[in-house]
């Protein structure tokens, strides 16, 4: 059942538009386009999953917070991948792993009603752990 007052498409579009305004100017157009598309894509996927999850009961604000975590971290980790010269064919895999970690952790923070600072810290810790783990796995392949 959809979350009352929460529209993943509109929210994802809004986050992608915000990302477009702050993408570093030193990146190539294709890199910028990739980042903005990933932010939008992951926000829509997460938002739709939240709307369809019968096992949790979220408010529109909680769903928006989860989606925003995914959008913001997708943005930052995309830039990190580009600047670290990680091969382009690895970007999707790394970002998918990170987005999954964010999704699960952010759902936990919202359903447990953690304070904002604690939620931010927990999500950041999981993002960094997932990012490092996925890069290490790629190196050993």
pLDDT tens column, 58-77: 999 999 999 999 999 999 99
Residues 6+ apart with CB under 8 A from 94: 77, 81, 86, 131, 134, 135, 138
Residue 1 clears pLDDT 80, i.e. is over it: no
Handedness of CA 35, 134, 132, 67 (dihedral sign): positive
pLDDT tens column, 95-140: 999 999 999 999 999 999 999 999 999 999 999 999 999 999 988 8
**Hey, where are the domains in the chain?**
8-140
Indicate yes or no: pTM above 0.85.
yes
Residue whose C-alpha is closest to residue 95's, from 76, 109, 114: 76
């Amino acid at each position: 059942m959809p979350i009352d007052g929460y529209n993943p498409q509109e929210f994802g579009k809004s986050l992608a538009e915000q990302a477009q305004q702050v993408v570093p100017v030193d990146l190539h157009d294709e890199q910028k386009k990739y980042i903005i598309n990933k932010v939008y894509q992951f926000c829509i996927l997460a938002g739709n999953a939240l709307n369809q999850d019968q096992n949790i009961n979220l408010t529109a604000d909680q769903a928006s917070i989860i989606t925003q975590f995914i959008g913001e971290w997708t943005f930052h980790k995309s830039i990190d991948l580009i600047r670290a010269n990680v091969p382009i064919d690895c970007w999707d895999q790394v970002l998918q792993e990170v987005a999954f970690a964010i999704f699960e952790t952010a759902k936990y923070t919202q359903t447990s009603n953690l304070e904002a600072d604690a939620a931010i810290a927990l999500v950041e810790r999981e993002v960094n752990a997932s990012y490092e783990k996925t890069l290490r796995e790629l190196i050993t392949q």
